[in-house]
Amino acid sequence: MAIFGLLLHHERPEAVGLAVETTARLEAAGHQVRFPMADAITAGLDGHGVDERDFAIGLDVAISLGGDGSMLRAVHLVAAHGVPVLGVNLGQLGYLTEVEPAGLQDALDGFLDGKHVIETRMLLAVRRVSADGDLAEDALLALNDAVLEKTPLGHTVRLDVSVDGTPFTPYAADGLIVATPTGSTAYNLSARGPIVAPTHRALVLTPVSPHMLFDRSLVLEPETRLRLTVSGHRPAGLAIDGRVLTELTPGEGIECTASAHPARLVTFAPRDFHRILKAKFGLSDR
């Protein structure tokens, strides 16, 4: 018997239908299925819901029914417990998802038969830094990026950057992105940052609309301790993987480095990153 965790996009009826169908099939085969409570309620399977804090405990695999946003949520919930994630694409292209809905049953059979590969992706460990320089004990995990940027009604922000404890330079910009290789094709790309193959390990620092002559990205070793501190007199918003979490005041900041916990993604064949990239941007062979 295996324990499956299901997560679904709450606003996609097809995700609800697939969740109900998959739960019935897995339970008929003698497996256990659980959902985060909010997902269970959305699917009408309240009895299968657990608290999000308990969701990953003992799981053999988490199945994400949605798009890349749903995959990000799944990784956030289970990565610290080493649980692999299988992504089912109910979105658009799906950089992170592995199978289409019609292929889910075959994918489940393949997983149970051991006919799968686990692809690891570097996660960022992001810790908040107080104005006194104290580092938060608990880290937030990011699969794509951590961003410090101007508040909605604000102007540019001033951010001091240090690398391994040594000051690098102050930035005046709309924001700064610290991206993983996986996240290099997300916000980093729209800010004209470099595309990095997703299985690499690196920190990519990219300014957003910098008001200064130096506007280049930096690609740093994953063990680098990269610290961003809000300076000047304006606050900055902190977003992790696209979710705005809090506002940092001058003197506060974040420290980013590679997490000890990678994201573990279920695949059944080598992921053709170049093919996905070509499809995303309509690139031709000639």
Burial class of residue 214, CB neighbours in 10 A (0-12, 13-18, 19+): exposed
Beta bridge partners of 89: 66
The owner of tokens 């005046």 is: 172
Determine how many CB atoms are found less than 10 A away from the CB of residue 93. Answer: 12
- Distance, in Å, from the CA atom of 35 to the CA atom of 25, rounded to the nearest integer, reads 15
Cα Rg, the chain, nearest whole Å = 20
132 part of the active site: no
- Distance, in Å, from the CA atom of 50 to the CA atom of 65, rounded to the nearest integer, reads 17
Q: Can you state the percent helix, strand and coil of the chain, rounding each to 5? A: 25, 35, 40
Residues in the chain, overall count:
286
Are the beta carbons of 99 and 85 closer than 8 angstroms?
no
Query: Residue 167 corresponds to which tokens in the numbers above?
Result: 């000051």
69 alpha-carbon distance from chain centroid: 8
Query: Residue 171 corresponds to which tokens in the numbers above?
Result: 């930035």
Of 39, 68, 145, 241, catalytic: 68
**Computed from CA positions of residues 25, 267, 52, 42, in that sequence, does the dihedral angle turn out positive or negative?**
negative
Give me the active site residues, please: 68
